[in-house]
């Protein structure tokens, strides 16, 4: 299942990601991964979550981000939750590409039995209507 946490900049998306990731770590019998641009969440997340800096792996674009996430799932079968902070900063703000990315992620999440949450800095009305994910507005 893919969930999109959407809202304008400064609406509390990252704070909610931190809360949800820490809660997922407490409840999970597997691994929780947080992908972010930079290393700003190092001291906010529990040390039990795997924090990945997308800049360290030169991730850019939705295809590359999808490959990275699917590679994590293929290499580690016990990942229960993946959180991606600042999705537009990592992959770009092409809304049509986002819709296609979310569709592919839904298939991956179902196949890997992994919950995937993306933080999107956008208003709901600015996103394509055909995005097939759970939308949670901030």
Amino acid 44: pLDDT? 87
Amino acid 36: pLDDT? 93
Instruction: Answer yes or no: pTM beyond 0.75.
Output: yes
CA dihedral 48, 60, 4, 86 (to 10 degrees): 70
DSSP at 7: E
Q: Name the one residue in this structure whose structure tokens are 């809660």.
A: 23
Residue 135 vs residues 5, 108, 110: alpha-carbon distances, Å? 6, 18, 17
Provide the β-strand partners of residue 82: 33, 116
Domains recognised in the chain with CATH numbers: 2-137 (3.40.50.300)
Q: Summarize pLDDT for 48-106 with one digit per residue, the tens.
A: 999 999 999 999 999 999 999 999 999 999 999 999 999 999 999 899 899 999 999 99
What band does 39 get if pLDDT is binned at 50, 70 and 90? confident
Point out the least confidently predicted range of 36-45, 59-68, 85-94, 111-120: 36-45
DSSP at 131: -
Report d(CA 131, CA 121) in Å as an integer: 15
């Amino acid at each position: 299942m893919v969930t999109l946490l959407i809202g304008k900049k400064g609406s509390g998306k990252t704070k909610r990601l931190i809360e949800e990731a820490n809660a997922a770590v407490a409840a999970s019998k597997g691994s929780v991964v947080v992908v972010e641009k930079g290393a700003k969440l190092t001291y906010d997340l529990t040390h039990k979550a795997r924090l990945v800096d997308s800049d360290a792996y030169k991730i850019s674009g939705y295809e590359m981000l999808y490959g990275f996430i699917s590679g994590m799932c293929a290499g580690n079968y016990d990942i229960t939750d993946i959180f991606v902070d600042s999705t537009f900063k990592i992959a770009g703000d092409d809304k049509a590409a986002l819709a296609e990315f979310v569709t592919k992620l839904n298939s991956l999440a179902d196949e890997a039995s992994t919950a995937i949450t993306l933080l999107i800095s956008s208003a709901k009305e600015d996103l394509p209507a055909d995005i097939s994910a759970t939308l949670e507005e901030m």
